Structure 1
Amino acid sequence: MDKIRKEDIKQEVFDLYDDYAHNRLNRRDFIQNLSAYAVGGLTVASLMSFLMPDYKSSVQVTADDPRLTSQYITYKSAKGGGTMKALLSMPANTNKKLGGIVVVHENRGLNPYIEDVARRAALAGFVSIAPDALTPLGGYPGTDDAGREMQSKRNRDEMLEDFIAAYDYLKSHENCNGKVGVVGFCFGGWVANMMAVRIPGLSASVSFYGGQPASEDVSKIKAPLLLHYAELDTRVNEGWPAYEAALKEHHKKYMAYMYANVNHGFHNDSTPRYDKAAAELAWKRTIDFFREKLQ
């Protein structure tokens, strides 16, 4: 059949994928439920292929981009004696100290999309660090399915501590000006919110469709927040009214945007949930926010 078009796919299919991608549906049940939408020439195999990430054709900033210095490094993990792997990127031949950005991945480890995002942040004039929370288990395994399974074996609060350790590493890096922010996606969006709760010195926090902190923790937030939500992401959006009420109650500095008619993961340009217009607008707002707060 002809190439599947995003507009021909029912929203229920994207909702099924969201349940599968967040471990609320196992692979067997996902395939079984997906079969109900394999009609009119569509097959389960073609739908599966359509929904899975395509990293090769979606890279915006390549690993060997001459405008950047980008390399894997290790830093001390939250637990004594251990180390974490991360991608450290910055503009090539920079002769000044730059604002720092911790880039936090989704629930599947440091995959090519998040590495690309980290390089985009560096290209915008920052020094970025993108840790791999799967390091203690051997690192991102090369596929998102295996990555999700691995990450489910780690305690999310322990992973949060490892990202906080990345903040400490970056803040004292010789190329950083001491102002460090965080941007996270999905699971990483929750991490970005929680780093704002946990780190009094955090300079800025940007969360893309991330879970919210408990209302009683909002009073601890010092950093200005930029929050991106997807209108069709009912799962994450359920927590937004209480979060917003607590932010207002405690007079916190925040900007929140709800992007119309887009799905959770709309910034991820390797999957069909990607929405180009919303992603580009949200990223522009993110970089503008970091330039205001970190430079």
Structure 2
Amino acid sequence: MVSSHYEKITAADGGVFDAFCAVPETGPAPGVLIFQEIFGVNDNIRGLAERLAAAGYVALASDMFWRIEPRFERKDESGMADGFERVHQLDFQLAGSDITATLAHMRAMPACDGKVGGVGFCLGGTLAYLFAATSRVDGEGPNAAVSYYGSGITGMLGLAEQIECPILLHYGDRDPYIPAQDIDAVEQAMAGRPNATVHRYDAGHAFSNWDAPSMYDETSARVAWDRTIEFFDEHLRH
């Protein structure tokens, strides 16, 4: 039986922010950080955390907009303008620091066995890439990272050489927010990396988000999720 609650995480600069946590019935278990879409830590993100916990992972989804509007959340396409407004205010350097604080917090949790991966969607897809490239706690980075349609990754390809863990990237070939040439550039940057895999789907943006009906693509979402769980099983359980 999965249980859930909120954790309080202390930022490097002394602030405190919330993170939704879902815990599997038995433990300790590997941990997975979840990085939110522009809609915040909403029903979709909490639901994904619970699905990860049901698959045997401790899931922790931190509030990345806490410095702008704590506990901000919107549900679907109707909240996109509000979400983009928060993204434009987001300081990615501070966000990276908060992600590292979340990694440290997860590794210190009794429910976590010490191995930690991360998965992010939309804005969070970019943050998952940033997590893989820059988050280090006592010199140790994450054990695996999964990015779903991170539109900001093409602007951060210079960080690819810093990625030490296996990374899996999902993209929709009909994404109106990520041009095909941007996905091509990510594929080219990852082509020579032994632990990097890029999958493309006949889908648009946010195809995994069942709370955004015009974007959700059930078939692509299921295939991508199965690949994500298999990836975590391979890299966090061995």
Shorter-chain-normalised TM-score: which range?
0.7 to 0.9
Q: Look up the match of 1:206.
A: 146
Q: Could you tell me the percent identity over the aligned residues?
A: 32
The separation in 2 between residues aligned to 1:103 and 1:221, in whole angstroms, is 18
Pairs aligned (count): 224
Question: By how many angstroms is 1:234 displaced?
Answer: 5.0
**How far apart, CA to CA, are the structure 1 residues paired with 2:204 and 2:189?**
25
CA distance in 2, matches of 1:115, 1:78: 25
Matches of 1:266 and 1:78 in 2, distance apart?
34
AA in 2 matched with 1:86: A
Please, which of 173, 194, 197 is the counterpart of residue 130 of structure 2?
A: 194
Instruction: Give the conservation status (yes or no) of the 8 Å contact 1:69–1:91.
Output: yes
Alignment check: 8 A CA contact 2:115 2:236 kept:
yes
CA distance in 2, matches of 1:142, 1:254: 32
Q: Secondary structure at the match of 1:135?
A: coil
If you compute each CA radius of gyration, which structure gives the higher value, 1 or 2? 1
Q: Within 2, Cα distance between the matches of 1:182 and 1:207? A: 8
The corresponding residue for 1:132 is: 63
User: Aligned to 1:136, what secondary structure does the other structure show?
Assistant: coil
Name the SS of the counterpart of 1:239 in structure 2: helix
Deviations 1:88-114 (A, max 9, x none): 11113x2x3211000000123212111
5+ unaligned residues in a row in structure 1: which ranges?
A: 1-66
**Is this contact kept in 2: 1:212–1:240, CA < 8 A?**
no
Looking at structure 1, the residues matched to 92 and 69 of structure 2 have their Cα atoms a distance apart, in angstroms, of: 17
What is the alpha-carbon distance in structure 2 between the residues aligned to residue 235 and residue 175 of structure 1? 38
Answer yes or no: is 1:264 the counterpart of 2:195.
no
In the TM superposition, residue 142 of structure 1 has moved relative to its aligned partner by 4.4
CA apart distance, 1:147: 4.3
- Distance in 2 of aligned mates of 1:138 and 1:216: 30
TM-score (norm 2): 0.87
**5+ unaligned residues in a row in structure 2: which ranges?**
none
Q: Would you say the 8 A contact 1:208–1:228 is kept in 2?
A: yes
Q: CA 1:129/1:152 → structure 2, altered by over 3 Å: closer, same or farther? A: same
Q: How does 1:15-54 map to 2 (within 5 A)?
A: none
Structure 2 CA distance for aligned equivalents of residues 246 and 146 of structure 1: 32
CA distance in 2, matches of 1:69, 1:227: 29
Is the 2:40–2:73 contact (alpha carbons within 8 Å) kept by the matching residues of 1?
Answer: no
Cα distance in 2 between the residues matched to 1:106 and 1:257:
19
TM-score, scaled relative to structure 1: 0.71
Task: Compare relative contact order (CA 8 Å, sep 6+) and give the higher one, 1 or 2.
Answer: 2
- RMSD of aligned Cα (Å): 1.8
- After superposition, the Cα gap between the structure-2 partners of 1:119 and 1:269, relative to the gap in structure 1 and judged at 3 Å, is same
